[in-house]
Structure 1
């Protein structure tokens, strides 16, 4: 009788232990997906800027057979994914990409992010906004004019022609979305060695967690810069933005 009682208690203890382990695993997983969905809900989509690109379609069609042969040889490695990342100074389309208007905005930040074929690393390449380049269908100009003249599609074509890199996706952020995503992530920690006074932000030296509005003021300020480093920023300290 005692053995049966001991076995019951042992079984109950095992069930409780397994339940606790399952709970410990489930909580962070659920939290991750909740956060992912919250961030995804704040991402606005616009019409496919790659649509109607006959040169892209034909090029992909010509390489389809070769791709199938390569897939057999390198079945464990996917193709790299190239993403054009743009930061717009738009005040017209802020929060609504469908409101884009020709001449209303430029892209002051231009980067190509490449996700490696094994999905283990990312590489970023920045293109200076004042680079003087050929823009299809327009006179040569600064590269940031491409977005102003023709939106995402012309920007994609211009960057591809300039770099020879085939782009797979594009992401655009503006002042409003910059603030929103910063707030959604809980702010950004910044260490200042000097006071920061920019826009509506007035902070003393020290470590601060900036909200979206404060972070935007920090990135937009133009005074007190030294050798390209943001003011009061100790670049050796963790959390310092550059």
Structure 2
């Protein structure tokens, strides 16, 4: 408990210093954007639970990553009181209403209205409006995995991709470096259930990251270097106090209290394009289950 307290203080100190030194993230290129969502929340949300929508942007060099289509969508809740955390995976091709733009694939909300619109679209589906939207470029994600020494995941089935990973990934516990972690999270064509299995793999990668960070957190300077690296590449509208709260929530996650589910659906066609017709009742059940304590009891 003492180590965790010290770790939280260290995170807070780094965030405070970074806010003074690089307030506009001008030192290096912006690879990450953390946006506070303007919420019109009518459902009571526990003050102990922080909700972040994590988004992988498929923006190409020179493109605004906050106005392209999102490739990976995970709604992550963290309970600052109990250390529990959960991830609700949203298939990117889910056909949903997008405020002000009719219906479209849910990842198009980022293109139409940026992080705010995507947060609202996901919130309308699950019933939990995120507090923050975290958007990152895939190159930064790859570098981050490399910086922490790679991650370990438990892969339930062997799969490959002729272009991204021809040799594929074997079944069982495997170690992933930066490129492999990105490939593991992005491949879908060789997976039995396509986008649904890919979303589950993204959650396995998130678990691997959290587990690695937790295992190495007590090493002198590990957390501080990581936080400062992110800050240098980040653009945000959060105050240092809010950044500290997020750092505290992340530091308190207990790997043994992490749950995750993926919103399922049927496959359909809209305008000639293949889409996922999400099971809205299931998505809302996940939201109702996790809203108060960031724990999903069953998928």
Q: TM-score normalised to the size of structure 2? A: 0.46
Q: 1:178 to 1:78 in 2, by over 3 A?
A: same
Q: 1:150 to 1:214 in 2, by over 3 A?
A: same
Counterpart of 2:50? 81
SS of residue paired to 1:82 = strand
* 1:154 Cα deviation from its structure 2 partner: 1.0
Q: 1:110 to 1:227 in 2, by over 3 A?
A: closer
Whose RCO is larger (CA < 8 A, sep 6+)? 2
* 1:91 Cα deviation from its structure 2 partner: 1.9
* 1:145 Cα deviation from its structure 2 partner: 0.7
- Summarize the alignment of residues 27-176 of structure 1 with structure 2, pairs less than 5 Å apart: 46=33, 48-50=35-37, 53=38, 56=40, 78-92=47-61, 99-100=64-65, 102=67, 105-116=68-79, 118-176=81-139
User: Structure 2: 5+ residue runs without aligned partners?
Assistant: 19-24, 202-207, 209-299
Using the alignment, how far apart are the partners of 2:80 and 2:140 within structure 1? 29
- Residues 181-229 of structure 1 show CA distances to partners (whole Å, capped at 9, x for unaligned) of 1101101246888696754775796976432123323433455434556
Structure with larger Rg: 1
Q: Is the 8 A contact 2:53 2:130 kept in 1?
A: yes
- Residues 67-106 of structure 1 show CA distances to partners (whole Å, capped at 9, x for unaligned) of 9xxxxxxxxx843211111122222468xxxx3374xx21
RMSD over aligned Cα atoms: 4.5
Aligned residues: 180
Q: TM-score normalised to the size of structure 1? A: 0.54
Counterpart of 1:182? 145
Using the alignment, how far apart are the partners of 1:123 and 1:167 within structure 2? 13
- Residues 29-74 of structure 1 show CA distances to partners (whole Å, capped at 9, x for unaligned) of 78x959x969x99995547453xx4x63xx69xx9xx99xxxxxxx
Q: Is the 8 A contact 1:182 1:211 kept in 2?
A: yes
SS of residue paired to 1:119 = coil
Structure with the larger strand share: 2
Q: Is the 8 A contact 1:80 1:116 kept in 2?
A: yes
Q: 1:93 to 1:33 in 2, by over 3 A?
A: farther
Using the alignment, how far apart are the partners of 2:159 and 2:48 within structure 1? 46
